[in-house]
């Protein structure tokens, strides 16, 4: 196989997820529904939670579907590219190439968080990451999600559940990869750790508010422009 073909496929493994996940459904849905920029409403974050609070359940449903679809498609498209162009099965634990899926996941999160189309200001990446997790290894996605649900149910803080799930994710990937005898276990762990670190970094302001007991709980409304509520910006997916 020509070296240039490998180079092209690896370039596309970064470009496809980044560009696809850079299409922000929260911004698009809010613009269609109310003609406004969601980044100037509520918490100021372009994601599911802020859409639910400022645009309602139906708009949030479209954002949920859109974010899940783009996260899943990002991984599947890269897998198909490697499978049919290079003859490499990125879902095979014996191939030594399963790390390519996690590489795509990194760029999927980058695209959602720092989208080229919207001045590099997007959401916080939780929902897109979860969708990517399921597409890469569904069990590695479900386990952090269980942690998320339990923490949110007990504390009512979406941000706390998100941060803990992000911290759990890379270790879940490592343990499952080792159990499955994946020859690229540690590379998968390293790439999933990058994803986890990015998500935690995007929640840095939420972490400060959690420490100061000023973070909003699930169910609290955000009805004023974000520039009037600098201390109350909520977590976003």
Residue 237 pLDDT greater than 60, yes or no: no
Contact residues for 20 (Cβ-Cβ < 8 A; gap 6+): 70, 73, 74, 77, 108, 111
CA distance 7 to 9: 6
Instruction: Give me the torsion for CA of 183, 189, 195, 201, rounded to 10°.
Output: -160
Does the pLDDT of residue 20 top 60, yes or no?
yes
Token pair 């670190």 in the structure block, residue:
197
Share of the chain above pLDDT 90, in %: 65
Q: Does residue 225 have a pLDDT over 70?
A: no
pLDDT, tens digit, 9 for 90 and up, residues 121-164: 888 888 899 999 999 999 999 999 999 999 999 998 988 999 99
Helix axes 185-202, 99-113, angle to 10 degrees: 10
Q: Kindly provide the residue ranges of all beta strands, DSSP E only, lying in the chain, ordered along the sequence.
A: none
Q: What's the predicted TM-score (pTM) here?
A: 0.84
Predicted confidence (pLDDT) per residue in 68-125, tens digit: 999 999 999 999 999 999 999 999 988 899 999 999 999 999 999 999 998 888 888 8
């Amino acid at each position: 196989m020509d070296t240039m073909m490998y180079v092209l496929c690896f370039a596309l493994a970064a470009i496809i997820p980044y560009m696809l996940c850079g299409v922000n459904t929260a911004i698009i849905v809010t613009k269609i529904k109310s003609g406004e920029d969601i980044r100037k409403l509520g918490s100021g974050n372009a994601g599911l939670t802020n859409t639910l609070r400022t645009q309602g359940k139906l708009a949030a449903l479209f954002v949920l579907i859109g974010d899940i679809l783009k996260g899943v498609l990002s991984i599947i498209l890269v897998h198909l590219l490697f499978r049919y162009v290079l003859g490499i099965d990125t879902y095979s634990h014996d191939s030594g190439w399963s790390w390519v899926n996690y590489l795509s996941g990194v760029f999927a999160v980058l695209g959602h968080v720092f989208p080229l189309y919207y001045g590099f200001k997007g959401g916080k990446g939780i929902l897109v990451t979860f969708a990517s997790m399921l597409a890469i290894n569904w069990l590695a996605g479900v386990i952090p999600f269980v942690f998320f649900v339990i923490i949110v149910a007990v504390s009512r803080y979406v941000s706390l559940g998100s941060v803990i799930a992000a911290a759990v994710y890379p270790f879940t990937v490592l343990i499952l990869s080792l159990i499955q005898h994946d020859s690229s276990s540690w590379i998968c762990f390293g790439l999933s750790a990058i994803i986890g670190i990015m998500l935690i970094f995007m929640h840095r302001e939420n972490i400060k508010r959690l420490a100061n007991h000023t973070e909003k709980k699930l169910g609290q409304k955000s009805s004023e422009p974000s520039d009037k509520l600098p201390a109350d910006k909520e977590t976003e997916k």
